[in-house]
Amino acid sequence: MNQGLMSQPKGKLSGKEVTTARLLKVAPWVAVAATTLPAPLVFLVLFMTTTATESAAVYLLLAGLSLTLGFALGVVIAAILMIYRRNWLAKLRDRLASDGITANEVVWFRSELTSAERKALAEIEQSNPLLADAYMETLANRLTASRIISRAKREILKVERQMNRARILRTPEANALLKELETDHQRLDHLRQQANDHLVKTKTRLQVIEATASRKLNEGDTEMMMQRLGSAQDQLPLVLEMAQLEKQALLEAGSHKEAS
């Protein structure tokens, strides 16, 4: 087992994990159905097949009772499975992000996307697949930068707490440790600033891609509307001419009737 874990590439998704994710997605609903339905169905069959009135009443009561208790048990099991799935997915995302998030892995980080990003991604995927690929790649960079910033902030807080404890001791060893911690603090703060610069750039690129996709979509709709308008205008003289000819034919038919 340890050899399998060592051979698994760092930050890469395995087929076993994909299968586990699918099973954990449906497991809560399967648990509710498995604990709720079987016992009541058995008692209902016994209720329908029995001829004794007292036995039928008992079976009906047991069916209702087992349905209630089974559903309650199923909800508890489903809640436990959902909590386990959330924690499992969080660990999976941390491992995938350990070597940087790729465009193909963005689907596992949808919970970390904003509602505007999810909406824009869905619209771009429908309108322009090429732009959707660029948008996914930029989203991956944005997610990576955001995670680096969050991790750097946590580490900075940890270092600051260690620095505060070192200042209280006032010993030569504590002073040496304090200098090392100050170096770590500067390094982490520099890392946070770099990641923040990347985050600003990726957010700007996301807006550029969204604007480009919206512009192309609007241009396509406008061009189609103009084509329809042009065809309608081209047909208008023909329609008017046909109406004029029809009117002239009616007048000539009326004049022939009067002459006869």
Q: Return the residue matching tokens 């489903």.
A: 78
**CA nearest neighbour of 124 among 145, 139, 104:** 139
- Residue 204: pLDDT band with limits 50, 70, 90: very high
Q: Which residues are within 8 A (CB) of 66 and not within 5 positions of it... i.e. 6 or more apart?
A: 39, 40, 43
Q: Which residues are within 8 A (CB) of 73 and not within 5 positions of it... i.e. 6 or more apart?
A: 35
- Higher pLDDT among residues 174 and 141, named by residue: 141
The answer to whether 116 and 210 are in contact (CB under 8 A) is no
For helices 172-259 and 129-169, angle between their N-to-C axes, nearest 10 degrees: 160
User: Would you say residue 31 has pLDDT above 90?
Assistant: yes
Residue 14: which region, alpha, beta or left (left: phi > 0; alpha: psi -120 to 50)?
A: beta
**CA nearest neighbour of 135 among 209, 203, 204:** 209
Helix, strand, coil abundance in the chain, percent, nearest 5: 90, 0, 10
Q: What average pLDDT does the segment 172-177 reach?
A: 86
- Higher pLDDT among residues 235 and 86, named by residue: 86
CA distance 120 to 236: 40
Which amino acid, residue 93?
R
The three-class DSSP label of residue 249 is helix
The answer to whether 103 and 146 are in contact (CB under 8 A) is no
pLDDT in tens, 205-258: 999 988 888 876 555 555 555 555 455 445 445 545 566 666 666 666 666 555
pTM to 2 decimals? 0.69
pLDDT at 68: 93
Lowest mean pLDDT: which of 49-63, 138-152, 174-188? 49-63
- Higher pLDDT among residues 218 and 191, named by residue: 191
- Residue 100: pLDDT band with limits 50, 70, 90: confident
Q: Which residues are within 8 A (CB) of 100 and not within 5 positions of it... i.e. 6 or more apart?
A: 11, 140, 144
- Residue 28: pLDDT band with limits 50, 70, 90: very high
pLDDT in tens, 32-78: 999 999 999 998 888 888 878 888 888 889 999 999 999 999 999 99
What b/e string do you get for 208-223 counting C-beta neighbours within 10 Å, with b at 16 or more?
ebbeebeeeeeeeeee
Q: What average pLDDT does the segment 146-160 reach?
A: 94
pLDDT at 130: 84
- Residue 9: pLDDT band with limits 50, 70, 90: low
**CA nearest neighbour of 127 among 213, 210, 212:** 213
Q: Return the residue matching tokens 């995927």.
A: 125
In the numeric block, which tokens belong to residue 173? 């060893």
Q: How far is CA 50 from CA 59, 102, 231, in A?
A: 9, 62, 75
The answer to whether 32 and 100 are in contact (CB under 8 A) is no
Domain borders along the chain are: 15-98, 100-246
pLDDT at 255: 62
